[in-house]
Copies of this chain bind each other. A is one copy, B any other.
Amino acid sequence: MSDVARTAGVSVATVSKVVNGRYGVAQATVERVQQVIHELGYEASLGAQSLRSHRTNVLGILVAEFEPFSTELLKGASREVAGSGYQLLAYSSGDGEGAAIGWERRSLARLSGTLIDGAVIVTPTVVETKHGFHVVAVDPHTGPSGLPTVDSDNFAGAVLATNYLLSLGHRRIGHISGRADLESARLREAGFRKAMADAGVPVDERLVRVGGFRVESAAGTAAELLALPDRPTAIFAGNDLSAISTMDVARGMGLTVPDDLSVIGFDNVPESALVDPPLTTIRQPIQRMGAEALRLLIDLIGGVEGNTHIRLPTELVIRSSCRPHR
């Protein structure tokens, strides 16, 4: 900026005013400065700008990793942000194992107040936030979180999945549940139990185990389940990643899906159609969730009052990973 100022023969203060379109600079000066800015290709430093003004017109999406669910969400958010005047910045902890609980709080602290004007947090472990900084949670933490939230009807979806397996004649149905601290995981397990109860089928507690929504941990859980003397004939996995992982493990043990084992997932990430066999699953409108979250965030920042909990519907998507029992 001082380069621009020197070349244009004005002070940095004036350049700043021109850049931000503030009142109080002569038309001739404005044009001269803009000319120089263009020639030098000057662009304001985001860091310095936000440090000083606490306003950047950049919104953040915080994700633990860029796995399929988060990236789908990103696509939806990206669509929504276009034309809103905001730019989108996706930030990943990069911690890999996600083991580091509290990464959202840390990342949020690093970015808020500087850099971004608000954030969407995906599957957060936090429930509270600094005052004055806007966040919306997608697929929130269990328990009463004060955060504005976007999620899908996890309970109904789980009932759908379980009923489908029941309708195929399965009775020994296993469930690989998700991250224990997520409301979605809790509700999916609850839906599973409700559907089983309604059908009068007792659930064998050895068949429901935590898989954590992640490839590696789900693989371990699937292996335990399938090594059982009286193994399940069908598995309702907490999400597609777990389901895909389960199919891999089954194949590794010499079982074929769906002949020896039916598997149903949850999410309908694009990858679920790519695997062999294509995965039967419960669709959540992930992209739409991303779009809604971003819209909610923009409304919040703009001071627009409105519904602060958006819940979207789920539906059954039948592909080829399930078949009738026996």
Give chain A's interface residues, CB within 8 Å of chain B: 41-48, 50-51, 65-68, 71-72, 74-75, 77-78, 81-84, 86-97, 105-106, 109-111, 113-115, 269-271, 273-274, 278
Establish whether residues B94 and A81, one from each chain, have CB atoms under 8 Å apart when the complex forms.
yes
Q: What are 9 A-to-B residue pairs whose CB atoms are below 8 Å?
A: A47-B48, A51-B51, A66-B71, A71-B71, A78-B92, A81-B92, A86-B94, A87-B92, A273-B278
Establish whether residues A41 and B270, one from each chain, have CB atoms under 8 Å apart when the complex forms.
no
A81 closest partner in B (C-beta)? B94
Q: 3 shortest A-B CB distances, which residue pairs? A: A82-B96, A270-B270, A47-B114
Establish whether residues B41 and A105, one from each chain, have CB atoms under 8 Å apart when the complex forms.
yes
Partner of A94, one of B42, B47, B84, B110: B84
Q: A53 to chain B: closest CB distance in Å? A: 11
CA A45 to CA B130, docked complex, whole Å: 14
Partner of A89, one of B41, B68, B75, B91: B91
Establish whether residues A47 and B43, one from each chain, have CB atoms under 8 Å apart when the complex forms.
no
CA A274 to CA B275, docked complex, whole Å: 11
Residues of B within 8 A of A94 (CB): 78, 81-82, 84, 86-88
Q: A51-B45, A81-B94 are in contact. Are A75 and B68 (CB under 8 A)?
A: yes
Residues of B within 8 A of A109 (CB): 41-43
Establish whether residues B48 and A106, one from each chain, have CB atoms under 8 Å apart when the complex forms.
no
Q: A124 to chain B: closest CB distance in Å? A: 15
CA A83 to CA B94, docked complex, whole Å: 7
CA A113 to CA B91, docked complex, whole Å: 18
Residues of B within 8 A of A77 (CB): 66
